[in-house]
Chains A and B, each alone.
Chain A
Amino acid sequence: AQRVTQPEKLLSVFKGAPVELKCNYSYSGSPELFWYVQYSRQRLQLLLRHISRESIKGFTADLNKGETSFHLKKPFAQEEDSAMYYCALWGMGGSQGNLIFGKGTKLSVKP
């Protein structure tokens, strides 16, 4: 089965502290994984994708195939990072793919 699990519904950290949002996936084959973010009153937007191996807003995510994980990390959290974060997998359904989302983790960064 193709599945994305985000074990934490809520993660609360203080400003300046490191943050790690966990994501585990179930997929046979080479997965394509993404992190989407939704700030308050804004639309869902792509934060980063594992293929590009880039750092966006200080966030990075490394694909670990052995642990089937794609955790999102940032060394020093900022208050503006407070948002809902969704891990997503590009899964194959029928003849085309579609995004399979985890249930999301709400990150709260306290001053």
Chain B
Amino acid sequence: KAGVTQTPRYLIKTRGQQVTLSCSPISGHRSVSWYQQTPGQGLQFLFEYFSETQRNKGNFPGRFSGRQFSNSRSEMNVSTLELGDSALYLCASSFITGYNEQFFGPGTRLTVL
């Protein structure tokens, strides 16, 4: 079974721009969660989508948003990028919402200049 895939793997943007990251979950998994990983804050939960609906949200500003499509693929969008948004963004999929065995993708490394 193919694992979680994320595209692109690397991204460089400048302040004020917006960015969209994509995540394809493991086949049959319907829940997708997003995490931000930084050296200072570690891994922090952003949000979770299940059946095209946001089911849970972490403590991040509204500039961070996401969506999920009918095939369970998910996108995450960050608008008005700030330097502090530079991070590794990880996507994780699980079979259903609220199920705690999560499988992680390789991440997208975002650098904001």
Contact = CB atoms under 8 A, between A and B. Distances in A.
Interface of A: 32, 34, 43-46, 49, 86, 90, 93-104
A44 B104 contact: yes
Which of A34, A94, A95, A99: most chain B Cβ within 10 A? A99
Interface stretch (B15-23, B74-82, B94-102): B94-102
B3 A97 contact: no
25 contacts: A43-B3, A43-B104, A43-B106, A45-B104, A46-B101, A46-B102, A46-B103, A49-B100, A90-B100, A94-B55, A95-B56, A96-B56, A96-B97, A97-B56, A97-B100, A98-B33, A99-B33, A99-B43, A99-B45, A99-B92, A99-B100, A99-B102, A101-B42, A101-B43, A104-B42
B101 to A, nearest CB: 7
B104 A93 contact: no
Interface residues of B, number: 25
A98 B42 contact: no
Q: Binding site of B, secondary structure by majority: helix, strand, loop or mixed?
A: strand
Interface of B: 3-4, 33, 35, 42-45, 48, 55-58, 90, 92, 97-98, 100-107
Contacts of A96: 48, 55-56, 97-98
Which of B100, B103, B105: most chain A Cβ within 10 A? B100
Contact of B56 (A32, A49, A86, A94): A94
A94 B58 CA distance: 9
B57 to A, nearest CB: 7
